[in-house]
Structure 1
Amino acid sequence: MDAWVFSSVLLPLFIFFARIADVTLGTMRIILVNRGMKYAAPALGFFEILIWLLAIGQIFSNVTNYVNYVAYASGFAAGNYIGILVEEKIAMGLAVVRIITQRDATSLIGTLRSSGYGVTVMDAQGMAGPGKVIFTVVRRKNVPDVVRKVHEISPKAFYSVEDVRHAAEGTFPQAMYQRRDIRLLKYFRKGK
């Protein structure tokens, strides 16, 4: 193989894809750390750093090849983007959706409950007068469905979405329950 092709094309491509892999793993590792997954996070960290060492080793072995620097930085940027896409696709964990309405929320509450979501409602008093504060804890993959229902039924309602690290009990749509989710809930209930 021609040395120029290796140093100017193949090696930068290797570095680029290695950086995509290690940064994507790093993104996932941080998410797992935030979720308290103390076994999966270190395992991902091991492979993240192993891949990083391979990439940085090639940079230092070919320190005069500036194409490698561009590949390294480009791989880092692309890895961040791909890591976010992967995380959005997986949508691990739970989120609390807090909805504040300025008017009667009976229809919204009924729609959420009929969809199988657990709903907690409190009376509230805001600047515009009385309203309701509605809380629902849902799987992150179900947040778009809840937000869509809020927009359809109460388009002027204020809502916020926050990640939930741990939760016990709860009401979730039965069609969306999976064995893995049941095992996770039992695991966290035991306090492990």
Structure 2
Amino acid sequence: MFWELLFIFFARIIDVSLGTIRMIFVIRGDKIPAAIIGFFEIMVYTLALGMVVGSLDNPVKLLVFCTGFSLGILVGSIIEEKLAFGYRGIQVVIDREHAGIAEELRAEGYPVTCWEATGKEGCKTVLNIFVKRNLANTLTEKIYQKDPHAFIVFMEPKKFKGGYLKKK
């Protein structure tokens, strides 16, 4: 009974984690890797479910099944964050007096497109930047060091074509 509960628990963590990663691939349009991951996800899920459905009179199995699901969401999110697949679009709104940030970032190899805008408190500069996801936090830290009042929005581009991207 103990080993069965342990299997159910870890099977749910694995299948939900795989599901999280599969969904990222689907959102990005990577159909083949999503389908392969989905195959293993549903196989593990079906094995765990089979052990629970035949024993619905045992609330411990159901509790373990649900707990594994919850932890699988956490584990899948952590894995996805560490893998940092894809790219992140970053839009930055700064006071015009800090517009030199664009040139500093370009000198460091970041692709920056900017334009002038008007906000509630006056003239602004908007920076539009696309980087690999693993560079996004480093980039925003640099921006906040130069302008602690910057307004930053993160975007998840599904597809894009052309332009310039920072390689590292």
TM over 0.5: yes
| AA of the residue aligned to 1:10 | W
Q: Where do residues 42-121 of structure 1 align in structure 2 (5 Å cutoff)?
A: 42-121=35-114
Q: CA contact under 8 A between 2:99 and 2:125: conserved in structure 1?
A: no
Q: Distance in 2 between matches of 1:49 and 1:63?
A: 20
CA distance in 2, matches of 1:33, 1:149: 32
Please give the alpha-carbon distance, in whole angstroms, between the structure 1 residues aligned to 2:44 and 2:15. Answer: 6
TM-score normalised by length of structure 2: 0.95
Which of 10, 14, 35 does residue 17 from structure 1 map onto? Answer: 10
Contact 1:108 1:149 in 2 (8 A): no
| Structure 2 counterpart SS, 1:17 | helix
Unmatched segments (≥5 aa) in structure 2: none
TM-score normalised by the chain length of structure 1: 0.84
Distance, in Å, in 1 between the alignment partners of 2:75 and 2:145 is 31
1:39 partner SS: helix
| SS at 1:101 equivalent | strand
CA distance in 2, matches of 1:64, 1:14: 18
Paired positions, count: 168
2:24 aligned residue: 31
Equivalent in 121, 128, 132 of residue 121 of structure 2: 128
Alignment gaps of 5+ in structure 1:
1-6, 177-192
After TM superposition, what 4+ stretches of structure 1 lie above 6 angstroms from structure 2? none
Aligned counterpart in structure 2 of residue 146 of structure 1, from 123, 139, 146: 139
Q: For residues 115-146 of structure 1, give each alpha carbon's deviation from its aligned partner in whole angstroms, at most 9, with x where no partner exists.
A: 21100010101111111000001111110011
- Paired position in structure 2 for 1:185: none
Residues 123 and 132 of structure 1 are in contact (CA less than 8 Å); yes or no, is this contact kept in structure 2?
Answer: yes
Higher relative contact order (CA 8 A, sep 6+): 2
